[in-house]
Amino acid sequence: MERICIPDYEYKDRVKRCAAILRREGLDALIVNGNEADYANPRYFSGFWPLFERCGVVISAAGDAALLVGPESREFGADRNKLDRVFCLKAYREGANPTYPELKADSFQDVFRALGITGQHLRIGIASFLDTSVTIYQAILEAFPGAQFRDSGDIMTELRSIKSDHELACLQEGYRLADLATQQVIAEIRPGMTELQMVGVAQRVIYENGAEYEGLPMYVFSEASTRHAISRSSYRRFQKGDIVQLNLSAKIDGYSASIGYPICLGKLEGQRREIVQFCRRAHQWTVEQVKAGVMAGDIAKGFYKYYVDHGFAENFVYGPLHSTGMIEVEAPWAETISMYPLRPNMTYQADTFISCPTFGVRWEKGIVVTEDGCRVLSPELPEFCPELNL
């Protein structure tokens, strides 16, 4: 079977679309930076995912582009990227901060000159500032002392928000593998096992079935740890009656897909059952609001009101939707101040979380906006928390 991936021509089209935006915005060039943890912006144009070192891509308003890598990634970058030009800059070196005294490295001036970007008073966009280290930023400033710089994260949001058919296919395959992993964890989990053992089960399944990597660090939390909105699995051993939160994921050609819901190692009763049921209803409420043309902030306001009206205002942590794609969480979010309309082929995680004093739960799945609603990209989640008779 042919591998599901982003075709080479789509990378070239992304560079052209970016260049058109640069001309519209009056910019001479865009520099996008990333690292091993958040590689999305440079990988979007190049297909390259760095290891240890940082990486970047420069795009000219004329539509030329080049990959920037650290001192140890010249061959790696040349072999694994979709762009014709690769430059090696010391500014993209690894965190151990070696000096590489024998290396004859390239400079930002070399890169710009090769791409035909010239002039003393350039207008340069940088995205994203969050992933541009001080070292990289200083190197850019020193290279172009007469330039004007602009935070251009909005350009990347514009480019990445609307997904192509190939991007949707990568996500859908990731969700399929995440569901396979979830079902296998449910089949194998037992009291006495550790959270990390179940992470191993999930990893085995996604790799056996074609995943490139985990879409996010696998979430297998139990009891008190389920209160964590963000956390890591531990050596805690499951006990009978535990609530266990699963958020399992798979990455397909750079696209990260995850699904999540709670399970109980026994019978879920009393107030805990009521809280889990509320969270599932709030999750379904969110999905029912999604439709092209609806303002993202209106959904977020209604979602918060749903918590307030049902007596869970103090248990609210964050809004109902966040975009997803190359990274599990990417811009734009749907928050109460998000006054932008949903558009067809925007992809989101319907991510419903509630945290209480002793436990928390999350229901999460991937959706794509359509003209008259949304389509669920992942296998549908269970109607209620699975209760395992162990």
Condensed to tens digits (0 to 9), the pLDDT of residues 352-389 reads 999 999 999 999 999 999 999 999 999 999 999 999 99
At 128, the pLDDT band (50, 70, 90 cuts) reads confident
> DSSP assignment of 155-193, as one string?
HHHHHHHBPPHHHHHHHHHHHHHHHHHHHHHHHH--TT-
Fill in the amino acid letter for 206: I
Q: pLDDT tens digit string along 140-193?
A: 999 999 999 999 999 999 999 999 999 999 999 999 999 999 999 999 999 999
On whether the CB atoms of residues 6 and 253 are closer than 8 A, the answer is yes
Q: Which pLDDT belongs to residue 364?
A: 97
Phi-psi region of 238 (alpha: psi -120 to 50; beta: other; left: phi over 0): beta
Phi-psi region of 79 (alpha: psi -120 to 50; beta: other; left: phi over 0): alpha
Give the three-class secondary structure for 65: strand
Mean pLDDT of all residues in 108-133: 95
Give the three-class secondary structure for 75: helix
Burial class (CB in 10 A: 0-12, 13-18, 19+), 260: buried
Q: Which pLDDT belongs to residue 390?
A: 84
Q: pLDDT tens digit string along 291-314?
A: 999 999 999 999 999 999 999 999
Q: What is the architecture of the domain spanning 8-161?
A: 3-Layer(aba) Sandwich (3.40)
Mean pLDDT of all residues in 74-84: 96
Q: What's the chain's average pLDDT?
A: 96
Mean pLDDT of all residues in 110-135: 94
Q: pLDDT at residue 132 above 80?
A: yes
- How far, in Å, CA of 69 to CA of 91, rounded? 9
- Percentage of residues of the chain with pLDDT beyond 70: 100
> What phi and psi, each to the nearest 5 degrees, are found at residue 368?
-125, 135
> What phi and psi, each to the nearest 5 degrees, are found at residue 6?
-90, 125
Q: Which helix (H) or strand (E) holds 257?
A: strand 255-264
Region 165-376: CATH code: 3.90.230.10
Q: pLDDT tens digit string along 201-256?
A: 999 999 999 999 999 999 999 999 999 998 999 999 999 999 999 999 999 999 99
Domain boundaries of the chain, sorted by first residue: 8-161, 165-376
At 1, the pLDDT band (50, 70, 90 cuts) reads low
Mean pLDDT of all residues in 322-345: 95
At 120, the pLDDT band (50, 70, 90 cuts) reads confident
**In the Cβ-directed half-sphere of 89, how many Cα atoms lie within 13 Å?**
27
